[in-house]
Structure 1
Amino acid sequence: MTNLTLSPALGWPLGTAICVIMLVCAVAQIVLHIRRRSQSDETVWACARRSMICALVAIMALTPSIVSSTNSRAINTTDVVVAVDVTGSMAVADAQYGSDEQLSRLDVAKQAVKDIAAMYPNSSFAALRFGASGTLDVPLTPDSKAIDNWADTLAPESTSISAGSTLDVPIDQLLLTCKSIHDQHPDDAIVLYLISDGEQTSSKTRRTFSSLRRYLSDAFTVAVGSEQGGNIPVTGDGVEEGDTQWVTDPETGEPGVSRMNADEMNAIADELSGTAIQLNATTTMSGGDSKEASSKWRVTQTSKQRTRTVAMVWPFAIAVALLLTFEAGAWITQSRRLL
């Protein structure tokens, strides 16, 4: 579907002002020609030519354009993969994000995800959560709003199904996701953000993340929480709002304390040859964008239909150029006659 419209390149106020001025000049040229017809040697063609130049410039000031519908979209060849920890310890309210306000670790993670999406405009994103298992929730998409909406849905997994914190849980899903992206777009830059409190409560030895390096251009580990820690609230369908219960440490019988493990997050960053970021009252995701982000673009087809406005000034510009050429020729001819 194609429609004609006006879309002033200089903005409506300035475009309208120029249009009005040029139309006034066009009318003034005709009026002056009629009044001075007996006293001037200006021809009708000369008057018409000058009036048309003014009229065409007036039209160009309003920038005639064609609006067409398209499913094509130019996207940056940077693919951002975000993995967020949703184990029970992420419900601990000991985290901060650019202020002294105490928030749950997962709430800080949500804000971080939204800021990450904003740092890479017109890029593609994939998102997964991990707790007892790793799940790809959002396959690769150029829709950053889908990532924002996904972040809003994040919630700590139920205490009844939680098997403790095992930081290597997302490795298999991340390998599948990053390999798939790399195979589809081998020239893209792939950037990983792993958001967690770094707590490892499983007795199993954690697997290394180094196997992901072959597919990644850059990586960041983002630690949330505090080293002082806090009690872990019981989460699940059976827990009523306002009824705060704490997860009990089986060894002491007292409410368990979860602490952010910055050393573990630093170790994972080293395995990924990436950068470790620790979010707190003074540190947010600002400045956490990758230097390896791509500067290239590609055109892709999307299911969402959008409109594109294309200026159609060139026919009028050609006409003005021709008329100005005639005007210059007439002026040169008249100048020679006067010599």
Structure 2
Amino acid sequence: MMMGKRGELGPKFPEGQDRLINGHEGVVWVPSQDRFAIVLIRGGDSLDPTRYTEEESYFEYGCDRADGLFCDRMYVNPDMLLAIPEGHVHDGRLDLSFAKKMVFPDPFACMLFQLERMEDLGSAHLFRRTARRLGCGEEEARAAAKEEIFERTVIFGLGTTGMFIGDIIRQAHPDARIVFVARSPEDSPKVQFALRQAGGTYVRSRHDRPEDLAAEICRALGGRATAFIGVSGSSAEHEIAFTHRVLGCNGLYNSFSLGPKITFDTMPFGFENHLIFGSINFRQDHMEKAIQMLARSSYDRIVELIGREEFAADPIGAYENRIYCKNAPMKTAVIWNRDKINMEG
């Protein structure tokens, strides 16, 4: 958004600067194909999302070929229009409840990819120790290690990203002990919704000393964390995990935040055998799975609408004053063509 406000993205897109520049999240109507579709925006058709190369800029990586730009003008790559499940279109109109859920496939797909990477890395990181403890072969040990890495999981931050990864871990690993950490009151709708989805425990971050917060997290976990997922965007993540030793021996640290720097003392880090990784992306199959899972979910309950006229008149003002501000809903959506939406659906 800041690059767009400074006019730094002009050569990449059609004319006009007084609007947000971002990847599209939501459902579009494709007149030439007479159907609704989801726009695939990140990762493209690559076999592996680690396609970001030394020759690319981050901006090209995130947006090239598939950026939405409101999709009002169909400024999308036609090869990246994914199908929606059957049963959500009636008399040519899309059910509103389903449309609300479909603002989330992009971040949900990101979290499916995070699950895959954590399972892969956790399996590789722990299987030899697991094989020795269980007295089994590599294949059985790797399967067991995928479960063990989530045995005590901290999710530090509770926006939609934190909510999604908790939900996804719970569905894939029902026995995982999950502790969410954030600043919101325990009785806030956001916290209560997240706990219903993931069945986890909540620790409110309101301590004067970080070591006290760390101690409370460990009590809630029943020990030190086997996996620590940072999604808050704050430097407190790595301080709690490393300086205050919430991340346990052989633990996995997943940095999903954009912005904070990670620092750690190399002596305990090396001896405690920690593994740190960060990889923000997904493949097309993650997006397709996200669409199916979200269609069965209740995430439409956390989406509120803003009028198209209000948003289009001043997108940046709407972003700053309605969408990303104190007391804003967890997610805000715009209906661009009401004729295509079943408002009662």
The normalised TM-score by structure 2 is 0.26
The structure with more radius of gyration: 1
Higher relative contact order (CA 8 A, sep 6+): 1
